[in-house]
A = this chain, B = another copy of it.
Amino acid sequence: MSAENTTIDVPERLRTRVRPDGQSKYHTGKADWSAWPVYDGADLGLRNYWYPVQWSSQVTNEPQQIVLCGEKIMVMRDAEGRARGLHDRCPHRGVALSEGIEEFPGTVSCPYHGWTFDLSNGELVAVITDGPDSPMCGKVAVKTYGVEERIGLVWIFIGDREPHSIDDQLPEELVDAPAMAVGGRIEERNGDYRLYAENGFDEGHAKYLHRTALWRTFKMMPAWNKVHIEQHGRWIYRIEDERHWDAEFPGLGTWTNRRWWKLKPKQQQGKFLGNTGGNEQPDPYIAAQNYPGFASLSAPGVLRIAYPQFIHYEFYVPIAGGRTRYVGVMVQFKSGLQRLSFFARYLFGIRWLFHGQFSGQDGWMVEATDAPPERLYRPDVSLLEWRRLIESGNPFDSTPAGKPGAAGS
């Protein structure tokens, strides 16, 4: 990042992380991520967090493999219907347990020699091909993972200490919601989870990249705006200060997304809810959250976009090797018929237009991103604050190493 970037509207503490390079304007960028060592080093993912990995309905008593933060995990349900996670590697010869079956209730057996592990604690409880007196039993175990289920998803804790409560980490409004209808999409995508998080919270690209999204066919997008970022608790919020529908560039011409068939959104509803073009009253439960801004982000990569009638979440779940599990979820806080209507709208529209093509444009850009090096501009304040948030530590970690820094709400 070059010295010119110190003109972006960010606090002094961020500016000191900028590495001046004194190069000419033709340099292709010397900005690396060494100013954010925690962030830069987390190639395999941020540890000591819960991650959603699969729909609850897709987890049965047939084992499956999930790769999370570089670790191979076998996930299946035990005899009581509880989802369980074990290191997906038989200690004998390294074969994946997820290739095996449930020979006895509450266990999984390696397909090769029948080494059989208790799902609740990972202990080797039988070796089928070595008989009941096998001397291995009780002497070998595989690592277990914390597994929970919330909002229709199976979550796994990846880390090096006892898991904190998942309810501490779940977006607050989802913990004791009066009613919920959930629709969503889980996909493995190319691209680093950090680039997905930066893209998701990025104000800059939305108006330009997504101007051609079918989801926005009848809705006008601004040309440009000015934003600032505020942290409240463990979330950072993007707050718009100015919005411009047209931009006149001297010597070049005017740029606008105005089209006769596109509707210009009305005045923002309370400014803190995204506008979807309709004129419905906001859902009272959502309105009651009083978000400082309609877009917010928290560790380890949870994007929340509040709309009048539902909230959209994106979880950017690290797999390994620059692959990311995209978990896109829309939640409506309704029950009964309204719930059914939401499912219908989701299945016939939102799923394809928003979680499909719109979000696919993001995937296209994240794959195309080749940074660092990078050269940041004014709207990248959102990205800088996100990196700072990660750098300030894991908010659920009470050990000294994980203690959050001075930054906070």
Write the A124-151 contact mask toward B (1 if CB under 8 angstroms, else 0): 0111111110111011111100000000
Interface residues in A210-262 by Cβ distance below 8 A to B read: 223-224, 226, 244, 247-253, 255
Q: Which residues of B contact A115 (CB under 8 A)?
A: 377
Interchain Cβ contacts under 8 Å between A and B, 24 examples: A2-B140, A25-B138, A27-B91, A28-B89, A89-B370, A92-B375, A92-B376, A94-B370, A96-B368, A104-B249, A111-B208, A111-B209, A113-B208, A113-B379, A116-B252, A125-B249, A125-B251, A128-B255, A129-B204, A129-B205, A129-B208, A129-B223, A131-B247, A140-B375
Instruction: Identify A130's interface contact among B25, B130, B204, B250, CB under 8 A.
Output: B204
Q: Which residues of B contact A248 (CB under 8 A)?
A: 132
Q: Shortest Cβ distance from A221 into chain B, in angstroms?
A: 10
Q: Shortest Cβ distance from A216 into chain B, in angstroms?
A: 15
Q: Shortest Cβ distance from A209 into chain B, in angstroms?
A: 6
Closest B residue, CB atoms, query A24: B141
Interface residues in A176-209 by Cβ distance below 8 A to B read: 203-205, 207-209
Instruction: Tell me if A175 counts as interface (CB < 8 A to partner B).
Output: no
Q: Which residues of B contact A244 (CB under 8 A)?
A: 131
A112 touches B368 (CB 8 A): yes
Name the prevailing secondary structure of the A interface residues: loop
Instruction: Please report the C-alpha to C-alpha distance between residue A25 and residue B371 in the assembled complex, in whole angstroms.
Output: 43
Instruction: Tell me if A7 counts as interface (CB < 8 A to partner B).
Output: yes
Q: A: which residues have CB within 8 A of B?
A: 2, 4, 7-8, 25-29, 87, 89, 91-96, 99, 103-104, 107, 111-116, 122, 125-132, 134-136, 138-143, 203-205, 207-209, 223-224, 226, 244, 247-253, 255, 365, 368-371, 373-379
A104 touches B377 (CB 8 A): no
Closest B residue, CB atoms, query A143: B26
Closest B residue, CB atoms, query A203: B129
Q: Shortest Cβ distance from A5 into chain B, in angstroms?
A: 8
Instruction: Identify A252's interface contact among B92, B107, B112, B203, CB under 8 A.
Output: B107
Q: Shortest Cβ distance from A121 into chain B, in angstroms?
A: 10
Closest B residue, CB atoms, query A206: B129
Q: Which residues of B contact A99 (CB under 8 A)?
A: 368
A377 touches B134 (CB 8 A): yes
Q: Shortest Cβ distance from A41 into chain B, in angstroms?
A: 20
Q: Shortest Cβ distance from A110 into chain B, in angstroms?
A: 9
A208 touches B114 (CB 8 A): yes
Contacts A7-B135, A135-B4, A224-B129; A375 near B91 (Cβ below 8 A): yes
Instruction: Identify A378's interface contact among B7, B122, B134, B376, CB under 8 A.
Output: B134
Closest B residue, CB atoms, query A122: B26
